[in-house]
């Protein structure tokens, strides 16, 4: 593919970007002219949306590494610069100055809400924190040792049967209402799945508390004694929710968008997103990172690190929780959660805990060793979030479910953006067929 114009090295000179690209194939056909589009930031994109219809050609891009499947105004990741913005606002500013529900309102509505609008948003979230009593009865159908993400997929999918959509409302209105309900109910559902696994009675929401504090109370309060969430834990959980709320067109977000393109029920679309998020290559990475620390602890603790690092450099094992597929330098979310992590460990007096000692030593090596620095293998958000959650008392299998609470906001922001756009189409990727050519059955079958 050739470009008839020269592109500038930075996106500052918008007028100098090409408006057309030319695709030339050596099959006798005339050169194919393709439009070039450009978003607010970043490099231009070649529009191939009509390529199959007009030329019966497809592009081959496993994993969609170079394919933009949509136009979106929700978030932006600059992997080279290590930058993440929600609706244009840097994640650093949002984490420092907003709480999770303010960020949720921003992502869903597109702008920061005013004081009265924010009060109304909080009130509507509070109104929906409980779930239908019969949803809790579904828990009895699961094994108590089932993975929380498996339980969560089932419970969320079942919500469609308990909260049917109102046919008097437009599809867009129904999905906007479902967004508020799901954001409100996700902490309740996650806490239910945890308490079921522990054999504890379910704890109802306490709508006097903040979103994060209410979640911690539903998780850990027992009827035999008072429970007051620790301020450091509340701050840590709220920050985790903000950092995980949205991250462009990742695997689970793309899954939710794909379901929405088919007109799927919003609860079932979110259930599909949770199922995708549960994978160890996606939301399960923080769970894998802590399991790595636990295996190191069993192998001898800090004394086992030199041999472990040797095996990492020899590519005999993986250093989980370091480096990032998108960020080529430091994950901006990692900087934020790193500070929260160290504050929490100090406040809870956990610096001498063997697992945290391991984590701190691995962090030191990754930040000082040339091997890791040259390869940009810095600790990422998954490394620190696992440590933070363990310090709070959240069990390892529940880590990804915490991620799902936060990402529900991004899923709805992205899904609703698609439904309200002028470019809603049923997602239908093409393929390069590599099977047998046309053939026929023999006259006599064995």
324 a catalytic residue: yes
- Nearest residue to 355 (alpha-carbon basis) of 395, 391, 320, 318: 391
Half-sphere exposure at residue 308, Cβ-oriented, CA atoms within 13 angstroms: 21
Give DSSP secondary structure letters for 342-410.
Answer: HHHHHHTT-TTSHHHHHHHHHHHHHHH-HHHHHTT--B-HHHHHHHHHHHHT--GGGHHHHHHHHHHHH
> How many residues appear in the chain?
446
Annotated catalytic residue: which of 47, 382, 423, 440? 382
Q: Which CA distances in Å does 179 have to 95, 106, 434? A: 22, 13, 41
- Nearest residue to 332 (alpha-carbon basis) of 72, 101, 90: 90
User: In this structure, what DSSP letter does residue 202 have?
Assistant: P
- Nearest residue to 234 (alpha-carbon basis) of 213, 210, 211, 215: 213
Annotated catalytic residue: which of 147, 244, 324, 331? 324
**CA 287/CA 401 separation, integer angstroms:** 10
**CA 197/CA 416 separation, integer angstroms:** 34
User: In this structure, what DSSP letter does residue 64 have?
Assistant: G
Which residues is 36 bridged to in the sheet? 46
Q: What are the residues whose beta carbons fall under 8 Å from the beta carbon of 174, sequence distance 6 or more? A: 165, 166, 266
Q: Which CA distances in Å does 409 have to 74, 177, 204, 245? A: 11, 12, 22, 6
The residues annotated with a catalytic role in the active site are 324, 382
């Amino acid at each position: 593919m050739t470009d008839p114009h020269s592109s500038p090295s930075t996106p500052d000179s918008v007028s100098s970007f090409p408006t057309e690209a030319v695709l030339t194939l050596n099959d006798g056909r005339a050169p194919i002219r393709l439009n070039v589009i450009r978003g607010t930031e970043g490099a231009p994109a070649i529009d191939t949306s009509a390529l199959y219809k007009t030329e019966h050609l497809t592009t081959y891009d496993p994993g969609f590494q170079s394919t933009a499947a949509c136009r979106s105004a929700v978030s932006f990741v600059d992997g080279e610069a290590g930058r993440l913005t929600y609706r244009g606002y840097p994640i650093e500013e949002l984490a420092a100055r907003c709480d999770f529900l303010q960020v949720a309102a921003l992502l869903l509505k597109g702008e920061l809400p005013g004081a009265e609008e924010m009060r109304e948003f909080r009130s509507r979230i509070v109104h929906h924190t409980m779930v239908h009593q019969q949803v809790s009865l579904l828990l009895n159908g699961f094994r108590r040792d089932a993975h929380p993400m498996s339980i969560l997929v089932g419970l969320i999918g079942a919500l469609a049967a308990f909260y049917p959509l109102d046919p008097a409302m437009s599809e867009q209105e129904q999905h906007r209402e479902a967004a508020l309900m799901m954001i409100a109910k996700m902490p309740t559902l996650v806490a239910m799945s945890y308490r079921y696994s522990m054999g504890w009675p379910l704890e109802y929401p306490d709508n006097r508390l903040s979103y994060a504090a209410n979640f911690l109370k539903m998780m850990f309060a027992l009827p035999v004694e008072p429970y007051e969430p620790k301020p450091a834990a509340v701050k840590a959980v709220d920050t985790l929710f903000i950092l995980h709320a949205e991250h462009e067109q990742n695997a689970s977000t793309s899954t939710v968008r794909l379901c929405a393109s088919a007109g799927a029920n919003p609860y079932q679309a979110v259930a599909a997103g949770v199922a995708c998020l549960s994978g160890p290559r996606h939301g399960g990475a923080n769970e894998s990172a802590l399991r790595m620390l636990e295996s190191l602890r069993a192998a001898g603790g800090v004394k086992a690190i030199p041999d472990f690092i040797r095996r990492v450099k020899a590519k005999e094992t993986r250093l989980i929780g370091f480096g990032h597929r998108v960020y080529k330098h430091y994950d901006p979310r990692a900087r934020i959660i790193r500070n929260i992590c160290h504050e929490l460990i100090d406040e809870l007096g956990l610096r001498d805990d063997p697992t945290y000692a391991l984590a701190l030593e691995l962090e030191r090596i990754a930040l000082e060793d040339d091997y890791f620095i040259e390869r940009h293998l810095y600790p990422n958000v998954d490394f620190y979030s696992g440590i933070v959650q363990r310090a709070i008392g959240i069990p390892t299998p529940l880590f990804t479910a915490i991620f799902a609470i936060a990402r529900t906001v991004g899923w709805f922001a992205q899904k609703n953006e698609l439904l309200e756009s002028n470019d809603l189409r049923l997602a239908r990727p093409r393929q390069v067929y590599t099977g047998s050519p046309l053939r026929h059955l023999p006259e006599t079958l064995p």
